[in-house]
Amino acid sequence: MTDRAPVPLPEKPSLEWLRKQAKRDLERLRERDPDARLADAQFALDGSYGFTSWRALKAHIDSATDRTAGPVARLTIKTDEIYGAAFSPDLTRLLTGSQGNSIQMWEAGTGRHLRDFGAEADRVYALVWSRDQCQFLSGSFDGTMRLWDVQSGRCLRVYEHGAYVRGISPTSDWRHALTACGDGTVRQRELETGTCTRVLEGHGAAVYAVALSPDERLALSGSRDATVRVWDVESGRCVQILQGHGYHILAVSWGRDQQHALSTSNDIRLWHLESGRCLRVLRGHSKVVERVAWSRDERSILSPSFDRTLRLWSVETGECLRVLEGHGAGVKQVVYMGDESAAVSCDWSGEIRHWNLSPS
C-alpha cells in the first residue's frame, strides 16, 4: 500500500470488471517483470482502491453489486471439478458426479452430505431424477448408464453402451430413456429389460445432449459436430438438421409448443423447428453454456456459464435482462424456483446459490 489517496471505485463495479482489471494490470506488470504473478497485480490493485487485501476488495464489490443473491451453501466435497449436477424435482436435494468421488447426494439448502452411491465413478456427466424422486439415472465416461435407488443407495441395473454417456432423457413413465453417446449415436433403452430398442445415427462426432419432446414422439440431439438434429423417435429418422453454432452443442431444450427449441454452445440459439431457421442468437457469456432453463411462460430463460455468471434473457427480444454474479467457479446447473421469482444454481466447486429474480 502507498500513502497516496485511494482511487475511487467505478459507480457500478462488478466482480467480472474486477477480474478483468487484475488481468490487465498483470499484463502491464509483466512488461517490467516477466515473473510477476496474478497475486502481485491483485495486491497492487487492492491497495490502489484503499483496501488492505484482495479478499476485502472482492467482498466489498460482491456485497455492493450482488443484490439479487440469497443464501449460499457450500458442499463439503473434495474435487477439482463437479461434472454433473441435478436438483431433485422438489429442489430439496442435489446429486453430483465429480472427479475422484462416487455419485453423492446433498441437502440443497445447507450443503449437508446425505449419501454416496457406489464406488468412485469415472466422470459422471448425466444425472436425471425420476418424477417421484425414488430413483435416478446416471451416465458416465465408463461407457454405462446406471439406475439407482435413492433410499437404499443401491445400483439396480447397469446398461452397457460401449461409449461414454454424456446425456440422458427418460420418458415420463420411466420405462424408456434416450442416451447421448460418445460414439456419435443416440440410443433408446428399455429400463426394465436393458434392451437397446433403437439407435439413431447421423452425427459426425460425439453426442453431448439429448431431449425428448413434450409428446415424446420427437427428440433433439446436440453434438460435438456443432449441429442439432431433430429425430422421429419411432422411425429413427432424422427430420431436420440445425446448423449455425461454431462450437460443440452442450444442451438442447424443447419449447412447450414443440415448434421452438433452444441450444447452447458458446452462444445460445432459439430455433423454429419446422423451417430450421435460427430466430435469435443470445450472446454475452464469455465462455460456454452447459445448461438452459425456460420460464413457465417461455418469455425468459436462465443460462449458467463457465464464465462464473448466470444471465436472464428475454426470449422475445434476445436482450440480456440481468447478469447474476457471485459464483467463484463455472456454473453447472440452474433451475427456477416456485413462482419463478427465484432460482437456485450450483457451480463446479460445489457452491449453491439462491437468486432473487424479482424486478428491483
Q: In this predicted model, what pLDDT tens digit does every residue of 154-163 receive, in sequence order?
A: 999 999 999 9
Task: Report the mean per-residue pLDDT for the chain.
Answer: 91
Which tens digit of pLDDT belongs to each residue from 293-322?
A: 999 999 999 999 999 999 999 999 999 999
Q: Give residue 256's pLDDT band: very low, low, confident or very high (50, 70, 90).
A: very high
Q: Give residue 276's pLDDT band: very low, low, confident or very high (50, 70, 90).
A: very high
Q: Which of 36, 65, 94 is the last residue of a domain?
A: 65
Q: Using CA atoms, how far apart are residues 216 and 229, in angstroms rounded to an integer?
A: 15
Give the total number of structural domains in the chain: 2
- Asked if the structure places residue 8 within a domain, the reply is no
Residue 23 is predicted with a pLDDT of 87
* Same domain as 61, residue 88: no
E-strand stretches of 150-217: 155-160, 165-170, 176-181, 185-190, 196-201, 207-212
Q: Residue 244: left if φ>0, alpha if ψ -120 to 50, beta else—which one? A: left
Q: Using CA atoms, how far apart are residues 167 and 211, in angstroms rounded to an integer?
A: 9
pTM score over 0.85:
no
What are the CA-CA distances from residue 112 to residues 73, 108, 125, 154, 214 (Å)? 9, 8, 21, 20, 34
- Asked if the structure places residue 4 within a domain, the reply is no
Residue 2 is predicted with a pLDDT of 44
* Mean pLDDT on 14-36: 85
Strands 196-201 and 185-190: antiparallel
Q: Interior CA angle at 277 toward 275 and 280, to 5°? A: 145
Residue 62 is predicted with a pLDDT of 60
Nine cell digits for residue 61: 464489490
Residue 184 is predicted with a pLDDT of 97
Q: Which helix (H) or strand (E) holds 30?
A: helix 15-32
Residue 310 is predicted with a pLDDT of 96
- Asked if the structure places residue 10 within a domain, the reply is no
* Same domain as 171, residue 32: no
* Same domain as 129, residue 59: no
Could you tell me which residues come within 8 angstroms of residue 55 by beta carbon, excluding any fewer than 6 positions away?
A: none
- Asked if the structure places residue 7 within a domain, the reply is no
Q: Which of 65, 84, 106 is the last residue of a domain?
A: 65
- Asked if the structure places residue 6 within a domain, the reply is no
* Same domain as 143, residue 54: no
- The residue range of the domain holding 330 is 69-356
* Same domain as 234, residue 346: yes
Q: Using CA atoms, how far apart are residues 180 and 85, in angstroms rounded to an integer?
A: 17
* Same domain as 337, residue 255: yes
* Same domain as 47, residue 85: no
% of the chain surpassing 90 pLDDT:
71
Residue 215 has pLDDT above 90, yes or no: yes
Strand partners, 342: 337, 356
Q: Give residue 139's pLDDT band: very low, low, confident or very high (50, 70, 90).
A: very high
- Asked if the structure places residue 237 within a domain, the reply is yes
Q: Using CA atoms, how far apart are residues 55 and 15, in angstroms rounded to an integer?
A: 12
* Same domain as 303, residue 232: yes
- Asked if the structure places residue 205 within a domain, the reply is yes
Nearest to residue 98, comparing CAs of 359, 356, 351, 348? 348
Instruction: Give 45 or 152, the one with higher predicted confidence.
Output: 152
* Same domain as 79, residue 60: no
- Asked if the structure places residue 55 within a domain, the reply is yes
Residue 69 is predicted with a pLDDT of 60
Q: Give residue 63's pLDDT band: very low, low, confident or very high (50, 70, 90).
A: low
Q: Using CA atoms, how far apart are residues 194 and 156, in angstroms rounded to an integer?
A: 11
Helix axes 38-48, 15-32, angle to 10 degrees: 110
On whether the CB atoms of residues 255 and 294 are closer than 8 A, the answer is: yes
On whether the CB atoms of residues 177 and 145 are closer than 8 A, the answer is: yes
Q: Which of 65, 86, 105 is the last residue of a domain?
A: 65
* Mean pLDDT on 273-289: 95
Nearest to residue 253, comparing CAs of 276, 237, 269? 269
Which tens digit of pLDDT belongs to each residue from 50-60?
A: 787 877 787 67
Q: Using CA atoms, how far apart are residues 75 and 51, in angstroms rounded to an integer?
A: 30
* Same domain as 26, residue 174: no
* Same domain as 35, residue 135: no
* Same domain as 218, residue 99: yes
Residue 58 is predicted with a pLDDT of 73
CATH number, domain of 315, equals 2.130.10.10
Q: Using CA atoms, how far apart are residues 358 and 134, in angstroms rounded to an integer?
A: 33
Residue 1 has pLDDT above 50, yes or no: no
Residue 112 has pLDDT above 70, yes or no: yes
% of the chain surpassing 70 pLDDT:
94
Residue 15 has pLDDT above 80, yes or no: no
